[in-house]
Amino acid sequence: MTEPLLSVREVWTTFKAPRGKGGRRQEIQAVAGVDLTVGEGETVGLVGESGSGKSTLARTIVGLERARSGTVTFAGTDVTTGWSRRLRRDVQMVFQDPRSSLNPRMTVRDIVAEGWRAHPGLVRPGGHDAEVAHLLEQVGVDPTLAGRRPAELSGGQCQRVAIARALALRPRLLVCDEAVSALDVSVQAQILALLARLREELGLAMLFISHDLGVVRQLSDRVAVMYLGKIVETGPAEQLYTSPEHPYTQALLASALELDPDATPPTALAAEPLETTPSRSEDRTDAAPSA
Ligand SMILES: Nc1ncnc2c1ncn2[C@@H]1O[C@H](COP(=O)(O)OP(=O)(O)OP(=O)(O)O)[C@@H](O)[C@H]1O
């Protein structure tokens, strides 16, 4: 059997809790002995309610938090205590709030190209602007917007720019942490369709984190359910949604349906309406005023 691209084994990540009444400091076990794999080109969804440890696990994988124990292996290399510059480029993150994850003072062009400063070999000499335009087209942003700043774009456009910035480094794995949660529902569908298309075109693997079960189902080959720092169930997406085994998964699915009784989570992705121009519906529903 081939090695998975990403392999997480028995990983624990803990934080010091604030001092309690007796002045004793307890530990928060945010990630408590997690095993997880993501294969080359595979999309693994990670679901769980707020506080279950999803973000901490993602941050531990990419090295933003230090695991107390366990191992993280990427492409056969142990990266638990640090990533080489070369491997680091292979894993990119897309965060929840597209506005705050982009530098408000930078133009779209500079944001997308930022990573090339550390990896100049990724872009042909003199090919910089053409490559930025290509990346913007790839994520459905009109390249004529390259001179704008984040405040002059809609939330959906900002998230597309954040995805273009990640793609500029030609990653093999994209870690999306609540990447569509801050967006209007119609824009969510567009970004999900974009991610699905990019995955097909580029053979990208994804770790797709969300508290929203419907969203995770749309994109994932496999789904892992996290509860109190542990993965309580993992399985192929359809199987997990139609016959969940763990009581927590069952409760999570039941409460999602209770919140929206008419919603059977969609199984097909909405068509991606726009390829190269900013979306009118984004402009209507999600636009920020021009600065
Ligand atoms: N830097 C930190 N210091 C102390 N505790 C933290 C820190 N980061 C996270 N935690 C705690 O770790 C636990 C897991 O948090 P985490 O953010 O990973 O969960 P989550 O499932 O991603 O939830 P959410 O979607 O709300 O962010 C929570 O109890 C949280 O309060």
| Residue 282 Cα to ligand 1 middle (Å) | 31
| DSSP state at residue 26 | P
**Per-residue pLDDT at 152 exceeds 50:** yes
Pairing type for strands 222-227 and 43-47 reads parallel
**Which residue's CA is the closest to the ligand 1 atom numbered 31?**
51
The CA-based dihedral angle spanning residues 180, 184, 185, 188, taken in that order and rounded to the nearest 10 degrees: -30
| Residue 187 Cα to ligand 1 middle (Å) | 26
Measured from the CB, is residue 217 less than 6 Å from ligand 1? no
| Residue 15 Cα to ligand 1 middle (Å) | 9
- Distance, in Å, from the CA atom of 33 to the CA atom of 123, rounded to the nearest integer, reads 40
- Distance, in Å, from the CA atom of 220 to the CA atom of 207, rounded to the nearest integer, reads 9
**Per-residue pLDDT at 280 exceeds 80:** no
Buried b (16+ CB within 10 A) or exposed e, 117-134: eeeeeebeeeeeeebbbe
**Per-residue pLDDT at 283 exceeds 50:** no
- Distance, in Å, from the CA atom of 78 to the CA atom of 170, rounded to the nearest integer, reads 21
Measured from the CB, is residue 30 less than 6 Å from ligand 1? yes
Residue 188: count of CB within 10 angstroms of its CB: 22
Of 267 and 227, which is predicted with more confidence? 227
Ligand 1 atom nearest to CA at 16 = 4
**Which residue's CA is the closest to the ligand 1 atom numbered 12?**
30
Measured from the CB, is residue 50 less than 6 Å from ligand 1? yes
Which residues sit opposite 161 in a β-bridge? none
Residue 152: count of CB within 10 angstroms of its CB: 17
C-alpha 275, offset from chain centre: 21
Domains of the chain: 6-15+27-286 (3.40.50.300)
pTM of the complete model: 0.86
Measured from the CB, is residue 54 less than 6 Å from ligand 1? yes
Measured from the CB, is residue 229 less than 6 Å from ligand 1? no
| DSSP state at residue 76 | T
Q: What is the pLDDT of residues 168-217, one digit of tens each?
A: 999 999 999 999 988 888 899 999 999 999 999 999 999 999 999 989 99
Q: What token pair was written down for 81? A: 């205590």
Return the pLDDT at 99: 82
> H or E stretch including 109?
helix 108-113
Q: Taking the CA atoms of the chain, what radius of gyration do you get in angstroms?
A: 19
Of 178, 161, 168, 55, which Cα lies nearest the Cα of 104? 161
For residues 229 and 66, the answer to whether their CB atoms sit within 8 Å is: no
C-alpha 94, offset from chain centre: 5
Return the pLDDT at 23: 72
Q: Is residue 7 classed as helix, strand or coil in its secondary structure? A: strand
| Residue 1 Cα to ligand 1 middle (Å) | 35
Q: What ipTM did this prediction achieve?
A: 0.97
The values of phi and psi at residue 227, to 5°, are -145, 125
